[in-house]
Amino acid sequence: MPEHDNGYKLLFAYPRLVKDLLRGYVQEAWVEQLDLSTLERVSGSFVSDDLRERHNDLLWRALWKPENGEPCPIYILLEFQSQPHPHMPVRILAYEVMLLQELIRRNKLAPGGTLPPVVGIAVYRGKPRWRTPVDLGRLFPPVSGGLGRYLPRFEHILLDERRLGSADLESSRNLAGVVFRLETVTSPEEALQLWLLLHEWLPRSEAELRRTFTIWILRVVHRSFPGVTISGVADLEDFPMFEENMKAWRRRMEAEARIEGMRDVLLGQMKQRFGRVPMKVRQQIKTLDSQAELRRLSKKLLSAGSLEEMGFH
């Protein structure tokens, strides 16, 4: 798994992120019945009956208090995907079955041997639209003659972060929403805004989470803004230095864009004046990175009778 994927998953190893994920993006009645003060991370490693060890991404447990019925534990399994998986319901169901087998093996069931509810949530980060069904039944061909009674029934939750909509983060103060927004950040200004929100929302007493978010933002910035250089930044407290680095990157990109535009204009003028411009000359123009030199050549073009008179051979 790429390093930036590990960093993304690490954020959801914090209870506060998982609580915000459930409250903000799993808008179902059972979420309101969770006692999120009991939310705890549990091991997501299982040994199957064939003695093979399996790992899911993250597994959480909380107490569920339904309106009618006795409170019981509920397990929430998080799977993170950067690419669509053609059989995701099968994959999540396999993890859930192994979890239940492990609970049975260790005699961790409720009185009477009832199984706890398990909810699978796939968090998808990729660009292509997710088209795999979340309902396992839709992966089977149409059947008849009563055969459908024997097919497994299962469904998981899909959170496609690029299509969740734009939440009002300032009013919701949802940290999971910040993570999703960072994944699709398109401008330095937006990155700066999200940094300030995190600095405001995360108290200094949550130093570890602040540090994790700082590392994650820096990874996102390096991925989203090629060529950016961030130095002197170790915590959300270091916003002034982060801001200066991002502004310096913006100035450099704007300067490079101006130079690229001047090169294109000069080449267009040379073609109009002299006809076809040889590849060797085009390459020479493309290596020029001085606005002053490009201006000098544009001015010289007005009186030059040939490429040679402009200094190209």
Q: Which letter does DSSP use for residue 79 in this model?
A: E
60: helix, coil or strand?
A: strand
pLDDT in tens, 119-175: 999 999 999 999 999 999 999 999 999 999 999 999 999 999 988 866 677 778 899
DSSP state of 72: E
What's the pTM value of the predicted model, to 2 decimals?
0.82
Confidence label for 58 from pLDDT (cuts 50, 70 and 90): very high
Alpha-carbon span 172 to 119, nearest angstrom: 24
Nearest CA to 266 out of 291, 296, 298 is that of 298
- Total Cβ atoms within 10 A of residue 113: 8
pLDDT by residue (tens digit) across 17-42?
Answer: 999 999 999 989 999 999 999 999 99
pLDDT band at 112 (very low <50, low <70, confident <90, very high): confident
The predicted structure's pLDDT at residue 168:
72
What secondary structure letter does DSSP report for 311? T
pLDDT surpassing 70 at residue 1: no
d(CA 7, CA 1): 10
